[in-house]
Amino acid sequence: MNQDLVIQRFTPPLKLANFRLAAFDMDSTLISIECIDEIAAVAGKKEAVAAITEAAMRGEITDFKESLRRRLALLKGVPASALDQVLRERLQFNPGARELCAALKAAGLKLVLVSGGFTFFTRFVAAELGMDYVRSNELEIIDGKLTGALMMQAWGDICDGEEKRRMLVQCAAEIGATPEQCIAVGDGANDLPMMGAAGLSVAFHAKPKVREQAMVAINAGGLEQLLQVLR
């Protein structure tokens, strides 16, 4: 068996024509970094922030909102220019991200970006990949510095696992699709609610807890391997 691409809960191939929407996590899924960790790195605080990120993604800290607030508090006072530096110097797309998104769009699927990360980065990623819907968190910046807080948006302030699930279901309903006609791709524990709602769940280089619960696990190589499953 190809351990790079593990099919766990159905008999392939599935028909791409059966799906109408694909929802993606951003950090460590579509892109190779965790943006909050890299902002912390620019500020010299990566070790403390990354430790909380890792525990949250493994599911050891079960309250994602609390884990994010703890990390943000450590970034209070960091210059907003750190965001530009991360985007310019550190953000890279994961292998196959562009190819997979282009193929799904060509097949008529709508694409959704749902991230516990920040709008500063999701705007760029969404534009590059042609996303149709985006939900993420808005950093509060005052006098050119991060305050350690988030801005309230129409739907709330923190896009956690439950908000990711709601967004997938809401976007599906908007285009007249069912959750069973959706694909959800992620790597961390906060992706499990949307992955559980979708007709096809895909773990990409994921934490063990996420790999175990996904229908398809891509453990090595690029995202484009999903196209081997969808015919």
Catalytic residues: 25, 27
Partners of 141 in the β-ladder: 146
- Tell me: cis bond preceding 13? Omega within 30 of 0 counts: yes
Q: Are strands 200-204 and 216-218 parallel, antiparallel or unpaired?
A: parallel
Q: How far apart are CA 141 and CA 149, in angstroms?
A: 8
Residue 53 CA neighbour count, 13 Å, CB half: 23
| DSSP at 31 | B
State the residue for tokens 């908007």.
174
Report how far Cα 157 is from the mean position of its chain's Cα atoms: 17
DSSP 143-171: TTEEEEEE--BTTBS---HHHHHHHHHHH
Q: How far apart are CA 116 and CA 27, in angstroms?
A: 8
Report how far Cα 227 is from the mean position of its chain's Cα atoms: 19
